[in-house]
Amino acid sequence: MPGRLVTRRRLLPVLPALTLVAMLGPVVAGLYGTVLPAFGHLPAAGLTGPSLEAMRGLFDWPGLPRAVTLSLTTGITTTAIALAIVMGLVAGWSGTAAFRALERALSPLLSVPHAAAAFGLAFLIAPSGWVARATSPWLTGWDRPPDLLIVQDTWGLTMTAGLVIKEIPFLLLMTLAALGQTDAPRARTIAASLGYGRVTGWLKCVFPRVYAQIRLPVYVVLAYGMSVVDVAVILGPNTPPPLSVQIVRWMGEPDFAARLLANAGALLQLALVIAALAVWRLAEGVVAWAGRRWIATGGRFCGDRAIAATALGLSATAAFAIAGGIAVLVVWSFAGFWGFPDAMPDALTLKNWMRHAAGLGDALTQTAVIAISVTAVALVLTIGCLEAEHRHGLRMTRRGMWLLYLPLIIPQTAFLPGLQTLLLNAGADTGQAPVMLAHLVFVLPYVYLSLADPFRAWDVRNATVAAALGASPDRVLWRVRLPMLLRPLLTATAIGLSVSVGQYLPTLLIGGGRVSTLTTEAVALASGGDRRAIATYGLMQTAAALVPFALALGIPALIWRNRKGLQHG
């Protein structure tokens, strides 16, 4: 018996270390692999550095100023707008019926992959999109699509909009989680009793506490908005594209000079994100300083109604944009001939689905194999970490939280090119297994973040009682703790699956173009403009991410239908 205990003690505490390696190993390796070629060192091509050749080439590229500007503006604008809308919404409406309705729509909206949401938005607002069709010709007078550059506009405004509608659900979810730890209802009551308006009181009392809690997710949004590739390919400008897209284009070119440029660009992307984060951090200080002065003025109102109404209107618009986008994808996927400006196609047909059935099937299988394996590994590592924490008191510190967010904050375009180069140099094959490892980098943090709170909130007296009844720690874990945590476990699983399903860049770069998932296939169709094909792949991608969420809701309700104590929460 003591012998067995010793082995367990050896195995379990290794898991946190293993988790860190799985999560940060590829990031560190990738950054290392980026730095070398960025300074002209690429032995596979017979190049030995260091040289500034690649850097010079990058700065000679005429599109650079524009690409850099786009990267900065889309990232910062997206974050500022999404954050403002979410804060206004929570300030004005939390605790009301309208808020609860939006809350319910949250999980499905969150799980719609970025690419599918971007396609949906494009199909809605393009000159020949649903909005134009629905209002033509009776309102607009158009009998053919107007010659306007709405999608892929030069300033990246549509791209920013596409990012904002997807980041609102994410920030809202993070804010709701943070609100639980901020004692917001009582602060609101106090502020109200002192005569403060709903929004003003919230902004002055609760916002500072909430922001401290959601700071890291906000940084994630900022870094993501600056370096996103799939949304930029679908909605962003083309000539020149944002820096991240250009990096991927260079990576796709066969000659080594382009590869060097790509890695130099990746390094620049990293520098840009770090600089933007630093500026954002400074801005936080300025806002805090201004906020203190504003609080000191003692003003009770600041256009409370207007802020609340605007925030609700904008978030509802975002929700409808995603939902409407999915709806228009459904229509296109079944559309026969659909002339402008008809609001609906002449006929609905299964032809599109049948034409793409084989391709969809292959891509779905590939997507599922990767997502399920990666999520399973992520769950094992996460549960191992949390159980090690429970048994041996190995608790995650505040610094540990930063490590968890690091893979989400360091831009994918900064380290994935280097990781691919490193894999090629090492002679390792690109393909499914490396893709899974790359997905794990992004799936692990989300699975961990979603499971950690419920796991820790579980009443440990249950473990004491079970142990007093003679149950070993393993038996307590398998027979008591995990069954009681079935609901959060399934939610974490669904989140893991949907994160993996949505991954574009890791699949593309680390798969060496030979791993085709629903996401890579859908994004690859973007340039072709075959709306019916895009619609089927986009919908399939959405379904692959949404169905697990539906199951995560349904399965506990079914299994615990006779267990009142587990039906809520």
Partner 1 sequence: MDKGLTLQDVRISKNGAPMVSLDWHIGPGQVLSVMGPSGVGKSTLLSFVTGTLPPAFAATGRVLLDGRDVTDAAPHQRMIGILFQDDLLFPHLSVGENLAFGLRPGGSRSQRRAKVDAALAEVDLAGFADRDPATLSGGQKARVALMRMLLSDPCALLLDEAFSRLDAALRAQVRDLVFARARDRDLPVLMVTHDAEDAAAAGGAVVTLG
The footprint of partner 1 (CB under 8 A) covers: 1, 5, 393, 459-473, 475-476, 479-480, 483-484, 486, 560, 562-566
**Looking at beta carbons only, is 476 or 505 nearer to partner 1?**
476
Decide: 254 and 424 in contact? Cβ < 8 Å.
no
CB of 12 to partner 1, least distance (A): 14
**Looking at beta carbons only, is 189 or 462 nearer to partner 1?**
462
Structure tokens at 366: 């590939």
Is the backbone of residue 58 left (phi > 0), alpha (psi -120 to 50) or beta?
alpha
CB of 465 to partner 1, least distance (A): 5
**Looking at beta carbons only, is 215 or 475 nearer to partner 1?**
475
CB of 492 to partner 1, least distance (A): 18
Residues 6+ apart with CB under 8 A from 38: 54, 55, 260, 263, 264, 266, 267
**Looking at beta carbons only, is 262 or 466 nearer to partner 1?**
466
| 209 burial type by CB count under 10 A (0-12 exposed, 13-18 middle, 19+ buried) | middle
**Looking at beta carbons only, is 97 or 468 nearer to partner 1?**
468
Cα distances (Å, whole numbers) of residue 230 to 118, 235, 302, 366, 569: 9, 9, 39, 19, 35
CB of 463 to partner 1, least distance (A): 8
Decide: 223 and 74 in contact? Cβ < 8 Å.
no
CB of 2 to partner 1, least distance (A): 9
CB of 486 to partner 1, least distance (A): 8
Fill in the amino acid letter for 285.
G
CB of 434 to partner 1, least distance (A): 39
**Looking at beta carbons only, is 66 or 391 nearer to partner 1?**
391
CB of 376 to partner 1, least distance (A): 22
Structure tokens at 20: 């860190």
Fill in the amino acid letter for 94.
S
CB of 553 to partner 1, least distance (A): 17
Decide: 348 and 334 in contact? Cβ < 8 Å.
yes
**Looking at beta carbons only, is 351 or 561 nearer to partner 1?**
561
Is the backbone of residue 343 left (phi > 0), alpha (psi -120 to 50) or beta?
alpha
Q: Among 253, 235, 265, which Cα is nearest to 414's?
A: 265
Only one residue has tokens 């969150």, namely 110
CB of 393 to partner 1, least distance (A): 4
Structure tokens at 166: 């997807």
CB of 449 to partner 1, least distance (A): 24
CA 531 to CA 534: how far, in whole Å? 5
SS (H, E, C) 317-377: HHHHHHHHHHHHHHHHHCECCCCCCCCCCCCECCHHHHHHHHHHHHHHHHHHHHHHHHHHH
CA 475 to CA 495: how far, in whole Å? 27
**Looking at beta carbons only, is 347 or 460 nearer to partner 1?**
460
**Looking at beta carbons only, is 342 or 474 nearer to partner 1?**
474
CB of 417 to partner 1, least distance (A): 44
**Looking at beta carbons only, is 154 or 567 nearer to partner 1?**
567
Fill in the amino acid letter for 291.
G
**Looking at beta carbons only, is 293 or 461 nearer to partner 1?**
461
What are the DSSP calls for 275-333, one per residue? HHHHHHHHHHHHHHHHHHHHHHHT---SSHHHHHHHHHHHHHHHHHHHHHHHHHHHHHH
**Looking at beta carbons only, is 216 or 566 nearer to partner 1?**
566
Cα distances (Å, whole numbers) of residue 461 to 386, 458, 466, 479, 484: 17, 9, 8, 15, 13
